[in-house]
A = this chain, B = another copy of it.
Amino acid sequence: MEVPMWVNFIGHFGAFLSAITFIPQVWQAWKTKSVKDLSLGMLLIVFTSVIVWLVYGIYLMLWPVIIANGVIFFLSLILLYFKFTFKN
């Protein structure tokens, strides 16, 4: 199937936005040292889904999927670390 360039662009833009999703959250958590309102369940699902998406993306060599989830992998690891170490 021939995919128009603007659709490809939209896909890459979506991958970019997904990749940076947790940057403001990591920043705020680091600044406030408070993560009590962050759901541990959410963080664990994000971490699991990222691994699933990485398997999928690497098998099909989908670079936007690989890069976006590679970034989210590290950011969600940081948030999990905060969740387990910050007192709040």
By a beta-carbon cutoff of 8 Å, the part of chain A in contact with chain B is 1, 3, 7, 10-11, 13-14, 17-18, 20-25, 27-29, 32, 34-42, 45-46, 48-49, 52-53, 55-56, 59-60, 88
Contacts and interface: CB of A to CB of B under 8 A. Distances in A.
Contacts of A55: 10
Nearest to A1: B60
A45 B28 contact: no
Grouping DSSP codes into helix (H, G, I), strand (E, B) and loop, the A interface class, with mixed when no group exceeds half, is: helix
27 contacts: A7-B56, A7-B59, A10-B59, A11-B56, A13-B52, A14-B49, A14-B52, A14-B56, A17-B48, A17-B49, A18-B49, A18-B53, A21-B42, A21-B46, A21-B49, A22-B42, A23-B41, A25-B39, A27-B39, A27-B41, A28-B37, A28-B39, A29-B37, A34-B37, A37-B37, A37-B38, A38-B38
